[in-house]
Amino acid sequence: MQIGILIFDGVEEMDFVGPLEVLASACEGRESRVLLIGPSLARVTCEKGMRVLPDVAMADIPALDVLLVPGGSGARMALADPEIVAWVQRVSAGCGWVTSVCTGSFLLVGAGVVAGRRVTTHHRFTDALEKLGEAEVLRGARFVVDGNLVSAAGVSSGIEMCLWLVENLFGAQAASEVADYIAYDIPPRGSEIVG
């Protein structure tokens, strides 16, 4: 199984680092891997200044089993990058699971991936996402499941979403082991919506 996390300049650090920890922990000992995918192999400068090198460039990944698109100001800026938008659209079409954290849902909307489906985003951006008019934006949900599309509201809900995803990919025992490993025992404050 190949899990890809798209990163780009202005990506919110915790939107991808939290999910990376969950997913990479679940992949240990399995024939699965998590890759950080950048527009190129050039260094990515994150929202708060952290600098990260992608594992692979978008052009070198023709297909994924799972795609995760994090948020940050860069996710909204990436809407103006036709290469990123086209790649997200193309790769999403073949994925078993397409996921976003926080404002990563804007990039999924911009790529035409969520038309007519239910999504969520960070509570400060629900109005802006709703104005795009492409999806039903659910407020107050920690994460939303609509078929193979899963969107999380923000940083900690991205971790919850990924634990849910681990359970669906590898089973309840795997999710429990990862939650124990990362010492994640905070009860959800909201709800998940399953479509």
pTM, 2 dp: 0.94
Give the span between the Cα atoms of 130 and 138, in whole angstroms: 9
Asked whether 4 and 66 are in contact (CB, 8 A), the reply is yes
Asked whether 12 and 47 are in contact (CB, 8 A), the reply is yes
Mean pLDDT of the chain: 93
pLDDT at 119: 96
pLDDT at 195 over 60: no
pLDDT band, residue 23 (cuts 50/70/90): very high
**Residues 65-119 pLDDT 10s:** 999 999 999 998 998 999 999 999 999 999 999 999 999 999 999 999 998 999 9
> Where are the domains positioned within the chain?
2-185
Tokens of residue 95, six digits: 């994925």
Residue type, 177: E
**Residues 46-67 pLDDT 10s:** 999 999 999 999 999 989 999 9
162 assigned to active site:
no
pLDDT at 191: 58
**Residues 165-184 pLDDT 10s:** 999 999 999 999 999 999 98
Q: Which of 64, 134, 80, 82 is nearest to 105 (CA)?
A: 134
Q: How long, in residues, is the chain?
A: 195
178-182 long-range CB contacts below 8 Å, 24 or more apart? 178/22, 178/25, 178/26, 181/25, 182/21, 182/22, 182/25
Marked catalytic residue, from 27, 46, 95, 102: 102
Tokens 């399953």, located at residue: 194
CB atoms within 10 A of CB 104: 33
CATH 3.40.50.300 fits 2-185, yes or no: no
pLDDT band, residue 148 (cuts 50/70/90): very high
Residue 141 DSSP SS3: coil
Asked whether 192 and 164 are in contact (CB, 8 A), the reply is yes
